Amino acid sequence: MRASRTTALALLGAAAVAAGGFTFAGQAAAVSQADAVHRAHHAGTRHHRAHTTPTTVVAALKGDKLYPESLVADPATGDIYVTGFGDGAVQRIPAGSRTAEVFLPAGTDGRTAATGAKIWGDQLWVADFSGLNVYSLTSRQRLAHFAAPFEKAMVNDIAFTADGTGYLTDSGNPVIYQVSQADIAAYADKPGAERAKSRLPIGRDLNGTPAAYTQHDSPNLNGIVSDGRYLVAVNFTSGRLFRVDTTDGEVREIAYDGPRLVSGDGLFRRGRTLYAARNKANAVTRLSLGRGDLTAHVEKNIESADLQIPTSVIAYEGRILVTRSQFDKGGPYAPGTPELPFSVAAVAGL
Span 316-335, pLDDT tens digits = 999 999 999 999 999 999 99
Count of H-run helices and E-run strands, the chain: 4, 24
Closest CA to 329 of 285, 282, 264, 268: 282
Domains annotated for the chain, with CATH where assigned, are 55-59+148-347 (2.120.10.30)
Q: For residue 136, what is the enclosing H or E element? A: strand 131-136
Q: What are the Cα distances from residue 301, in Å, to 40, 118, 209, 304, 349?
A: 15, 25, 29, 10, 10
pLDDT band at 12 (very low <50, low <70, confident <90, very high): very low
pLDDT band at 52 (very low <50, low <70, confident <90, very high): low
Euclidean distance between CA atoms 325 and 303, whole angstroms: 15
CB 296 within 8 A of CB 232: no
Does residue 341 have a cis bond before it (omega within 30 degrees)? yes
pLDDT at 19: 36
pTM: 0.87
- Of the chain, the percentage scoring pLDDT greater than 70 comes to 85
pLDDT band at 192 (very low <50, low <70, confident <90, very high): confident
pLDDT 10s digits, 278-321:
999 999 999 999 999 999 999 999 999 999 999 999 999 999 99
